[in-house]
Amino acid sequence: MHVITLLTAPARPALDPAALEALRNAWGGGAVLWLAPGVAAEFPVETLPGNFHDIWAEFQALGVDLVAQPAEGRRKRMLIADMDSTMIGQECIDELADEAGVGPHVAEITARAMNGELDFAGALRERVALLAGLPAEVVDKVLSTRITHTPGGRELVATMKANGAHCVLVSGGFTSFAARVAADLGFDEYRANTLLIEDGKLTGKVAEPILGRAAKVSALTGISARLGIAPDQVMAVGDGANDLGMLGIAGAGVALHAKPAVAAQCDIRINHGDLTALLHIQGYARDDFAA
């Protein structure tokens, strides 16, 4: 048994009941359950339809995400989430680079690294080197004036924790940002890279070893083992190439507004919804969300 979930952006509800019913009827599905009016609904099917990917593409054009999952085990006991462009709307290193006057150059490198075109560790070292001499207090300025939380993030973490899940923030970015974001959104723990500082200024170096793709996988496997749960009980979410490892081994790996090369390798792609989509695909209705 599979569950088909249809989702749109909560700010722009676009889920047409007639289109939903037509799809359910065409696929011989069971009763429709609305999770949020105009935003999210689901129905069960005995087997995954052979034309799923074709229909997925048609619904994308309508601003609707379509997700198919096995019905059993949908609710996860652990969330492991990327930070930059996932739990927050920015790439922290790009914001620091803008303060240092090298924003466009660094942003171009970031985009290529996140799309898997460059080695992550090498690209990080190259970008951090361009920040040498930047006053350390600029980090707090960027946090206060440039960083915004992705819609739905607080509800995602709060609701999963209220239902017994452990929530982990893992970032190829920096501890100076991850600590604040993790605390603000209620994560149980975080892991990230450390910017080195001397005499109140960034040295242009990052502590080794660099937390990249392999380290995110190790975080998922290590923390889930510590908690006594299997990887298939974990939901992972990210947008960049360095997230692919953890997205691939998690029971539910979600590519959220991901880079093209990343989305192409993931079965669960959220291109229109916000982070509350991760609750809906677990079967949570809007009324189930924790405050």
Mean pLDDT, rounded, of the chain: 96
**Using N-to-C axis directions, what is the helix angle for 120-129 and 103-114, rounded to 10°?**
170
**Long-range pairs for 141-148: beta carbons < 8 A, 24 or more residues apart:** 141/99, 142/92, 142/95, 142/96, 142/99, 142/177, 143/177, 143/180, 146/90, 146/95, 147/88, 147/89, 147/90, 147/92, 147/95, 147/177, 147/181, 148/88, 148/89, 148/90
Average pLDDT over residues 158-183: 97
pLDDT tens, residue by residue, 7-60? 999 999 989 999 999 999 999 999 999 999 999 999 999 999 999 999 999 999
The pLDDT of residue 106: 96
Place of tokens 């920096």: 174
Give the residue numbers marked as catalytic.
82, 84
Distance between CA 133 and CA 101 in Å, rounded? 12
Asked whether residue 291 carries a pLDDT value surpassing 90, the answer given is no
**pLDDT for the residue numbered 156:** 98
Q: Quick one: pLDDT at residue 14?
A: 85
Look-up of token digits 């915004």: 148
| Other CB atoms within 10 Å distance of the CB of residue 23 | 20
Residue ranges covered by each domain of the chain: 1-72, 75-291
The whole-number pLDDT of residue 241 equals 94
Given a cut of 90, is residue 281 above it in pLDDT? yes
pLDDT-derived band of residue 138, with 50, 70 and 90 as boundaries? very high
| Residue 184 pLDDT exceeds 80 | yes
For the stretch 192-203, pLDDT in tens is: 999 999 999 999
The per-residue pLDDT for range 257-270, each reduced to its tens digit, is 998 889 999 999 99
- pLDDT tens track for 70-121: 999 999 999 999 999 999 999 999 999 999 999 999 999 999 999 999 999 9
Which residue type occupies 209? P
Four-way CATH pick for 75-291: 3.30.465.10, 3.40.50.1000, 3.10.20.30, 3.50.50.60: 3.40.50.1000
% of residues, the chain, pLDDT over 70: 100
- Asked if residue 122 lies in contact with residue 246, where contact means CB atoms within 8 angstroms, the answer is no
* pLDDT value at residue 34: 98
Does the pLDDT at position 206 exceed 80? Answer: yes
CATH of domain 1-72: 3.30.70.260
Rounded Cα distance between 231 and 238, Å, is 16
Asked if the model's pLDDT at residue 160 lies above 90, the reply is: yes
